[in-house]
């Protein structure tokens, strides 16, 4: 058995103000091939994030991939475009935009969005239509920090190590028992 579970980023809806700083930061770090820097004014392509703000009259919070241990999206992908590296599940360049993973993901963590390269929208060969591919959180694969966590002005996002979380809850519960 794996010694640890995959980690993931989660938002606290009690802190999130819906400013979308996380979506913009996510788009920036994942679009270096489009010459996008980390400052306002360098974005020449639309914001293409990998976490998605959900808003209604009662709450707002971004939803992102939980990096499931038995990932339904990876199991369902007919093109083997969803892979695991360490504790990161990511979508690679083999994605054909068939939407199977969108249907398989239980929390709606995947979106189909246009593909840009060198600041140009990629056009699908044969159909002369924009090419759409699946995007989801890859925990900023290959980077030291998580862009969304760094960018959030409300500190509403955190990286969860669920085993560590459980241990802390157990300790809290045990301390609660001692106070009885």
List of residues contacting ligand SF4 (CB under 6 A): 65-68, 71-73, 76-77, 79, 81-82, 89, 91, 95-101, 105, 107, 109-110, 134, 136
Which phi-psi region, left, alpha or beta, contains residue 81 (left: φ > 0; alpha: ψ -120 to 50)? alpha
Helix (H, G, I), strand (E, B) or coil at 56: coil
Which is closer to ligand SF4, CB of 11 or CB of 110? 110
* 116-121 long-range contacts, CB within 8 A, separation 24+: 116/31, 116/34, 116/45, 116/46, 116/48, 117/33, 117/34, 118/33, 118/34, 118/35, 119/34, 119/35, 119/44, 119/45, 121/45
Q: How far is the CB of 42 from ligand SF4 (least distance, A)?
A: 28
Q: How far is the CB of 37 from ligand SF4 (least distance, A)?
A: 28
Instruction: Give whole-number Cα distances, 157 to 21, 22, 44, 153, 170, in Å.
Output: 11, 9, 27, 10, 23
> In this structure, are strands 120-121 and 116-117 parallel, antiparallel, or unpaired?
antiparallel
Q: How far is the CB of 87 from ligand SF4 (least distance, A)?
A: 11
Rounded to a whole number of angstroms, the minimum distance from the CB of residue 108 to ligand SF4 is 8
| For ligand SF4, the closer CB: 11 or 81 | 81
> Which residue, 27 or 100, has its beta carbon nearer to ligand SF4?
100
Give the residue with the Cβ less far from ligand SF4, 141 or 167: 141
Minimum separation from the CB atom of position 18 to ligand SF4 (A): 22
- 10 or 43: CB nearest ligand SF4: 10
């Amino acid at each position: 058995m794996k010694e640890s579970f995959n980690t993931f980023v989660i938002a606290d809806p009690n802190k999130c103000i819906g400013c979308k700083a996380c979506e913009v930061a996510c788009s920036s770090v994942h679009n270096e091939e489009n010459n996008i820097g980390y400052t306002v004014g360098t974005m020449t392509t639309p914001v293409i994030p990998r976490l998605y703000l959900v808003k209604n009259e009662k709450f707002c919070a971004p939803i992102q991939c939980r990096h499931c241990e038995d990932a339904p999206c990876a199991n369902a992908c007919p093109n083997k475009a969803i892979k695991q590296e360490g504790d990161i599940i990511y979508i690679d360049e083999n994605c054909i935009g068939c939407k199977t993973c969108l249907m398989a993901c239980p929390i709606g963590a995947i979106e189909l969005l246009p593909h840009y390269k060198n600041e140009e929208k990629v056009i699908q060969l044969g159909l002369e239509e924009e090419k759409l591919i699946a995007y989801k959180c890859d925990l900023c694969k290959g980077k030291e920090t998580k862009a969304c966590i760094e960018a959030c002005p409300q500190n509403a996002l955190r990286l969860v190590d669920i085993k560590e979380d459980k241990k802390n809850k157990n300790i809290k519960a045990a301390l609660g028992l001692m106070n009885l």
